[in-house]
Amino acid sequence: MIPITRLAIGEEEAAAALAVIRSGWLTQGERVREFEERVATYVGAAHAIATSNCTTALHLSLIAAGVGPGDEVICPSFSFIATANSIVHAGATPVFVDIDPRTYNIDPALVEAAITPRTRAIMPVDQIGLGADIPAVLEIARRHGLRVVEDAAPSIGATVGESRLGSLSDFTCFSFHPRKSITTGEGGVITTNDDAAAERLRSIRSHGASVSDLARYQSGSTDLEEYRELGYNYRMTDIQGAIGIVQMRRLDEVLAARRHLALRYNELLADDERIETPFEPADRPHTFQSYCVRLRSTRPRQDLMNDLAARGIATRRGVMAIHLEPYYRSRYPQLSLPETERATAETLLLPLYVGMTEAEQDEVVRALQAHLGERLSD
């Protein structure tokens, strides 16, 4: 079986998790703090705040951005459902705009037309490892007095120009779910350069407490903490933090291995007119959290996926169109986003993981091409 992904995780992570279990301190503590420091340093942000997952990171960031009931947040529909759900969790309304069909990321040219007096924030998504045009989104946001909460869930390590994602927007949120390039099992991180917002985020991820358990324990103080505003239990455990520290050390190596495999797929598929390989803008190298092709064939994608599965090769649809999922369709019955709808119907993720062999890659390409049948150019 060639799976869609395999974890790049091993004995070092297991030992780090075991050390936490033996330490007697399991939830958010020193290991989470060290993980946060590593992420902040890596992306070039002043602060990193770890959370239970990226959905909760997005929810907290929206609150810190001042988003609440009655507000609108502009976002793409071509994303995982959590992008829009986090906006609904904050009591606001997602306003979906279409994507650039080459990058699969929000089309900044469409953002401005979607701004209304109720717009409070923009949530661009850095989809499947490729940074969105964040400078263009920030420019629009600054001109209209809006905040930018960037959903970089799949894209740790990606850059835009000279900058790493995580250093540019008001708030950037990363996921460490096992489908991402590196993982903590479940986990999220918010990065920001806003000192006051960072302090508030640290408090509301833990019920709004004025002092963290770790700080109280380390100070030896018997003073009681206060709860000044509504908060949540969105904490990460130290077991996850310890795994994350090791995974952060591996990140560059993991991204290099993924890139090597992706470029090899590009070469193998280069002159096949039935398969469009991923686009990379000149200033935004792809980190290939997923390897996503667009099928230029009239054969149904589902038949292809079934055929590959029968040959022991896992694939996935590219990315969902959130506005077509029943919960959102019932709220946006008339909404049409042509590029998003085309992209969700035509894209396919191929297996890609650290340790994938050239023979496995060749097998995927052979099976894909065999199913698609004779080439037009043959």
Ligand X SMILES: Cc1ncc(COP(=O)(O)O)c(C=O)c1O
Chain residues in the site for ligand X (CB under 6 A): 53-55, 79-80, 82-83, 125, 151, 153-154, 175, 177, 188
Minimum CB–partner distance for residue 306 and ligand X (Å): 24
Which residue is associated with the tokens 């600054």?
142
- Distance from C-alpha of 81 to C-alpha of 69, rounded to nearest angstrom: 20
Pull the structure tokens for residue 277.
């390989």
* CB of 344 or CB of 361, closer to ligand X: 344
Classify 208 as helix, strand or coil: coil
How far from 187 is each of 108, 191, 201, 248, CA to CA, in Å?
29, 14, 15, 13
- Distance from C-alpha of 63 to C-alpha of 59, rounded to nearest angstrom: 6
Minimum CB–partner distance for residue 155 and ligand X (Å): 8
Which residue is associated with the tokens 């590196």?
182
* CB of 86 or CB of 192, closer to ligand X: 86
Which amino acid is residue 264, in one-letter code?
R
* CB of 278 or CB of 365, closer to ligand X: 278
CB 159 within 8 A of CB 11: no
Annotated active-site residue 175? The verdict is no
Residue 52 neighbours by CB under 8 Å, 6+ apart: 186, 187, 188, 233, 234, 235, 236
Closest alpha carbon to 371 in 276, 278, 275: 275
* CB of 151 or CB of 238, closer to ligand X: 151
Q: Which of 164, 180, 258, 294 is catalytic?
A: 180
* CB of 175 or CB of 237, closer to ligand X: 175
Minimum CB–partner distance for residue 160 and ligand X (Å): 16
Minimum CB–partner distance for residue 349 and ligand X (Å): 12
Minimum CB–partner distance for residue 55 and ligand X (Å): 3
Q: Enumerate the active-site residues.
A: 180
